[in-house]
Structure 1
Amino acid sequence: MSQSCLIKKCTRTSRGLCDCCQQNLCLQHLNEHNASLVSQLNPLIDEINGLGDCLKTLNIQKTIGNSRQKLEQWRQDCYKKIDCFFEQKCQELHQLVNEKVDQQREELKRMHLKITELMNTQETTRQDINLLTSTIRQLETNINEIKQTCFTLDTRPLLIDDMHVVINKPTEHELDLSTLSHVYKTIPCSKESFRPFTSNDRYLLMHQKPSLCLFDREMNVVKQTLWSYGAIHDMCWSSTLNGFIVLGKNNIYFVNENTMAVDNVQRIEERYWGSCTCSDTVLFASTNEWSSSIIEFKLFPAIEMIKEWKYPLTCSKDEAIADIVYNNGNLALMAAKYFLLFFCISAVNINNETIKIVPVSVPQ
């Protein structure tokens, strides 16, 4: 038995399954859906044409400009080394000839003194004349030999290993440090100030003994409060709480961005905190010890511990977590192993309560 078209109020018999909506439609509605699909090709053509125009206007020289400049600098440095080597060898040639010339010059000087002495005394012998003449002829021969000296130079072609310049293809999401701007401004810090700092989209929070200070984009202090709670191990921003989380030795503090009021929200004596980071819903804090743990706290309505990941899920027994950062469902861990640093990425699935460690190689 034939089916009716599934379009509402259509009484015609269906003629086939529409590829667009996966419904049995009549011929008219099949044609309408097909026309609708075909009409969607036009904007795609426009996008392709736009991308083609973009490629035409792409300035390749600008794209490779920085790399070309580095290559040019490498070439100039190589030229300087070749020129320096050339001058060194030229000096060696001059030195070899000068040694022979100096010898003949000394002999000429000695002969000149001898003849002068004989002339002053007005006394000489045939033997003296013969000896002087023979010596002069030998000097003449030696000087002519110097003039005709031909050095044998053993030269080798300068071989350039292709590995002297290695062009690496850009890696997706790789940070190109060469694109960073020059230093805009420096904030001086005393040795007594604690090193951790963090920021949100407006302010930079850092410790300037004896205060905890908020800096604006111009690096000016806009707010500050006296910090009398001991060492600061780490800090991070929580968009959920609209404030800053500060880790002390055993305490977790909340700093209100507007009032700079400091509240002690957690104290766990047996925990020695190392680093922290926030997602939209939770706070992650690592312990500062070998075979570190990662503690998860819920942020709302109050900061409370809900989970703990321990060794060997977090790191090896002889490793310690130095820093953690949360982004898009993943925790990036920086771990230390007996003074040797390496990086690993930890993929944390919050819903399934699992953690997976994936090592990442670090360029030498």
Structure 2
Amino acid sequence: MPQPCSIKDCTRTPRWVCDCCQQNLCLQHLNEHNDLLISQLNPLTLEIKALEDCLQALNIQKTIDNSREKLEEWRDDCYKKIDCLFEQKCRELDQVINEKVDQQREELNRIHLKITELIDAQETSRQDIDLLTSTIRQLEININNIEQICFTIVTSPLVIDDTFIFIKETTEHELDLSTLSPVYETIHRPKGSSGPLTCNDRYLLIHQHPNLCLYDREMNIVKQTLWRYGRIWDMCWSSTLGRFIVLEQNNIYLINENTMSINNVHSMKDRDWGACTCSDTVLFTSTNEDGSSIMEFILFPAIEMIREWKYPLTCAKDEIIDDIVYNNGNLALACAFKIVIWLFLRIMDINNTQNIINTDQHENTAHG
């Protein structure tokens, strides 16, 4: 005799195994289960409609615009580099011609002065006349030759590699350390070298006692100069100035990457510098003291201090600013107590100093 329907107290003959509960059900209960399943489709339809509305309302243009802005910044930076190289080569052309013109002008002035002296003295000789005539003829040839100068310009095509730009989807504000490449090279630093380092798009600048050294992408020293000053507290690159900025205890120096010249542009005797960072128009420096201040310098036409932010705006009176970084209108301040324990990260809007975000990070080592 067949088993009855699996539903309690139902004596009907089972017709089928229900897909949802895997029980043997009679036709009536099978239909009820089917109706129950169908009834669950309506909420799903509503959810789909809500998701469609959400998808329709997505501001994808904002996401695209934010990413395109980075691409446009890269493009503008490349244009600037091309324009900079173009202007440099134009100046080299001008210099070659101007040097030749100046050389002939000096010779003309010398001959003119010689003739004037002979006229004033009312005394000359056939030898003087012949020599002056010969010199004038040679000057005439030289000047005519200047107009005939032509240059052979040898250029190499600008090769654009698709790998110059890598697009990877990430969660907003996510830091993906897996994208870091393996260690390429290790630079061993001699005793007495200062810790800070910085770079531009061509070189890495570090202190290799007793020299300041520029390393290329292959980690080869391409230029160096003797550092005759004190300990380096921090350094950064200014694209506006085309110079590296180096903070010594009481002085700010500019380093020319082409000549490796070192120029002192600002001194502060009563307080010590701590850290520095740059925007396109401004240099920010912090002081190495309890209740550190941040000083703002304009970069152009000359480096001049225009503002100072003091505690409690920058940090508490018993805290010190370890490091500062500028990005997109904000300053990130790494602050710590003078001795041990806690590291504070503050994000400060430089245009609205009331807008400050604080985060705390436990630190087990003492502040140096």
TM-score, normalised relative to structure 2: 0.51
> Matched residue of 2:202: which SS?
coil
User: C-alpha separation between the residues in 1 aligned to 2:231 and 2:177?
Assistant: 32
Does structure 1 retain, via aligned residues, the 8 Å contact 2:286–2:294? yes
**Which residue in 1 is equivalent to 2:287?**
287
The equivalent residue for 1:359 is 358
Q: Which amino acid aligns with 1:237?
A: W
- Tell me the C-alpha RMSD between the 2 structures: 2.0
| Structure 1 equivalent of residue 349 of structure 2 | 348
Cα distance between partner residues in 1 of 2:226 and 2:248: 15
Q: Hey, what does 2:277 align to over in structure 1?
A: 277
How far residue 361 of structure 1 moved from its aligned partner, in angstroms, is 4.5
Change (3 A) 1:355 1:214: farther
Alpha-carbon distance in 2 for matches of 1:363, 1:339: 10
User: Which residue pairs with 1:266 in the alignment?
Assistant: 266
Q: Which residue of 1 aligns with 2:307?
A: 307
Contact 2:191 2:209 in 1 (8 A): no
Amino acid at match of 2:189: C
SS of 2:217's equivalent in the other structure is: coil
For 1:289 and 1:202, the matched residues in 2 are separated by: 34
**SS at 2:232's partner residue?**
coil
Map of 1:120 onto structure 2: none
The answer to whether the Cα contact below 8 Å between 1:346 and 1:355 also exists between their aligned partners in 2 is no
Secondary structure in structure 2 of the residue aligned to 1:316: coil
Task: Give SS of 2:306's match.
Answer: strand
How far is the alpha carbon of 1:360 from its aligned partner? 2.2
- Give CA-to-partner distance per residue, 1:159-208, whole Å, 9 cap, x none: xxxxxxxxxxx852221223322111001011211110000111100000
SS at match of 2:214: strand
* Structure 2 residue aligned with 1:202: 202
Superposed, which structure 2 residues align to 1:214-253 within 5 Å? 214-253=214-253
Instruction: Name the residue aligned to 2:44.
Output: none
Residue aligning to 2:187:
187
Q: Which runs of 5+ in 1 are unaligned?
A: 1-43, 49-169
On the 8 A contact 1:247/1:273 being kept in 2, the answer is yes
Once residues 226 and 362 of structure 2 are traced to their aligned partners in structure 1, the CA distance between those partners, rounded to angstroms, is 41
Count of aligned pairs between the two proteins: 195
Q: Secondary structure at the match of 2:343?
A: strand
How far has the Cα of 1:258 moved from its partner? 0.9
For residues 219 and 355 of structure 1, the distance between their equivalents in structure 2, rounded to whole angstroms, comes to 43
The alpha-carbon deviation at position 271 of structure 1 amounts to 2.1
The AA in structure 2 aligned to 1:342 is: L
Give the 3-state SS of the residue equivalent to 2:275 in structure 1.
Answer: strand
Partners in 2 of 1:223 and 1:205 — Cα distance? 10
1-side partners of 2:208 and 2:362: how far apart? 34
Name the structure 1 match of 2:333.
333
Change (3 A) 1:208 1:355: farther
1:297–1:306 Cα contact (<8 Å) kept: yes
The answer (yes or no) to whether the contact 1:334–1:342 under 8 Å persists in 2 is yes
- Residue 316 of structure 2 is aligned to residue 322 of structure 1: no
Note if contact 1:330-1:346 (Cα within 8 Å) is conserved in structure 2: yes
Give secondary structure in 1 for the equivalent of 2:297: strand
Larger radius of gyration: 1
Q: Distance in 2 between matches of 1:179 and 1:362?
A: 24
